[in-house]
Structure 1
Amino acid sequence: MTDTLRLYSYWRSSAAYRVRIGLNLKGLAYELVPVHLLRDGGEQRKPEYLRTNPQGLVPVLMHGQRPLRQSLSILEYLDEVWPEPALMPASARERQRVRALAQLVACDIHPLNNLRVLQYFDRTWGVPQPERDEWVKHWIREGFAAFEALVADNPATGAFCQGDSPTLADCCLIPQMYNARRFGLDLSPYPTLLRIEQACLALPAFDLARPENQPDCPP
């Protein structure tokens, strides 16, 4: 398929970060369209963007005229349309493990420290910043403790979350590691996650996707 790819992204969005990694791993060229989540009350809330994604979230990947939404769904779509290099392993059992690790981040950690949740705490309940930060760190700690237990000393774990090639699970883990550092979380209790992160960030596909390497990253 030769339709152009256009990614609506925000430099610090971990969901968009996942998709940038996947696109880079596939070697796919794409146009990046910045959507500033804070400017003027959030560009994702403007009517023109809501026509693209009624949820008012990033990312959206346009494949030609077709809008693709939800980061995990987008990554699996990329894997089906451009199978090599694969983001999912060959066997059903291995694919289930990768999906479970990816969803541990995308479904159980990330939604609890998403920007809109923290803004609701601030604007609706007046929760002070230190308490909001502790909320974020608590849920990352809970999730990372489980993730570490699932990958440490597991024979399915290799250089990456599953074997010796990056998968959907790594695409989710690395942005969440970035978020953890952003909120000052001590990562020393998670040595396997740190080792996997080091292996991932040594690859150009992950390095190019880093928030600080995005054109909309502030100086």
Structure 2
Amino acid sequence: MSEPLQLYSYWRSSAAYRVRIGLNLKGLAYDIVPVHLLHDGGQQHSAEYRGINPQQLVPVLGHGHRRLSQSLAILEYLDEMWPTPALLPSTARERQRVRALALLVACDIHPLNNLRVLQYFEQEWNVPQPERDEWVRHWIVEGLSAAEAMVADHPSTGTYCEGNTPGMADCCLVPQLYNARRFGVDMARFPALQRIEAACLELPEFDAARPERQPDAPEKAR
């Protein structure tokens, strides 16, 4: 019998969203373990959760007795444990391009506007909400503008970021566009990214991973 999978997740976490998509694309069954990032001062800061992930972040993938952190490392783990369908393409050049697009989101956009950064601005520097929102929009637009240039009219771009099979880059792109809309980014400047997103969201694996479809999503978000 295969070891069970548990995903420590928050419904609106874009990093957890990436992993939900990856698990769904692999056809893997998993249980959601909700970690509310705002309740009780942030459940990710509890002593119990620090024992699971000392970084106090989601997601964490439980696989048997193992606790695996970092969303992109988890996606690569899934690809190594369950090679088909693959999240990374077959050639080194294609894999490099997919990783570059995924890392653009995960390393260059997301860390500048995730919850702990915005909470630090608010709690330590008293930065007003409009300025915090403008910070988020600025860095999302900077990153997505680069991503748009990387996929628009590129010969390797197909239905999805790389060819006609959804993969790791798409797992990262779709949650980031969800975040962009949350913060009021003008999406008209990103037609290629929106086309790819629309194709992804037609797939049941992406649709089931949407934040509003998660068991811990509040009723008003459903």
- Equivalent-residue separation in structure 2 for 1:61 and 1:132 (angstroms): 31
Amino acid at match of 1:188: A
| Pair 1:213 & 2:213 matched | yes
Paired letter, 1:86: A
CA distance in 2, matches of 1:38, 1:67: 22
Query: How do 1:195-206 residues align onto structure 2 when only pairs under 5 Å count?
Result: 195-206=195-206
Question: For residue 6 of structure 2, what is the aligned residue in structure 1?
Answer: 6
Cα deviations across residues 132-179 of structure 1 (Å, max 9, x unaligned)? Answer: 000000000000110000000000000000000111000000000000
In the TM superposition, 1:38-187 aligns within 5 A as 38-187=38-187
Per the TM alignment, residue 204 of structure 1 is displaced from its structure 2 partner at its CA by: 0.4
Q: Distance in 1 between matches of 2:12 and 2:118?
A: 15
- RMSD after superposition: 0.6
For the residue of structure 2 that corresponds to 1:184, the secondary structure is: coil
Structure 1 runs, 4 residues or longer, greater than 2 Å off: none
Distance 1:141 1:157 in 2: 21
> Which amino acid in 1 is paired with 2:95?
R
Residue identity matched to 2:53: N
What is the DSSP-based 3-state SS (H/G/I as helix, E as strand, rest coil) of the residue aligned with 1:84? coil
Task: Structure 1: give runs of 5+ residues left out of the alignment.
Answer: none
Instruction: Write the distance in 1 (CA, Å) between the matches of 2:218 and 2:6.
Output: 21
State the TM-score, normalizing by the size of structure 2.
0.98
In structure 2, how many angstroms separate the alpha carbons of the residues matched to 1:101 and 1:63? 27
1:12 Cα offset (Å): 0.3
Q: Compute the displacement of 1:83 (Å).
A: 0.6
Aligned to 1:36: 36
CA distance in 2, matches of 1:152, 1:143: 14
For residues 93-119 of structure 1, give each alpha carbon's deviation from its aligned partner in whole angstroms, at most 9, with x where no partner exists. Answer: 000000000000000000000000000
1:140 alignment partner AA? I
Structure 2 residue identity aligned to 1:61: L
1:35-61 C-alpha deviation (Å, 9 max, x unpaired):
000001000000000000000000000
**Equivalent-residue separation in structure 1 for 2:145 and 2:183 (angstroms):** 17
**Whole-Å separation in 1 of the counterparts to 2:113 and 2:170:** 19
**Residues in 2 aligned to 1:41 and 1:107: alpha-carbon distance in whole angstroms:** 26
Q: Deviations over 1:49-100 (max 9, x none)?
A: 0000000000000000101100000000000100111000000000000000
TM-score (norm 1): 0.99
CA distance in 2, matches of 1:126, 1:165: 45
Q: Which secondary structure does the structure 1 equivalent of 2:54 belong to?
A: coil
Amino acid at match of 2:107: C
Q: How many residues align?
A: 219
Identity of aligned residues (%): 72
**Residue 28 of structure 1: how far off its partner (Å):** 0.2
Give the secondary structure class of the aligned counterpart of 1:7: strand
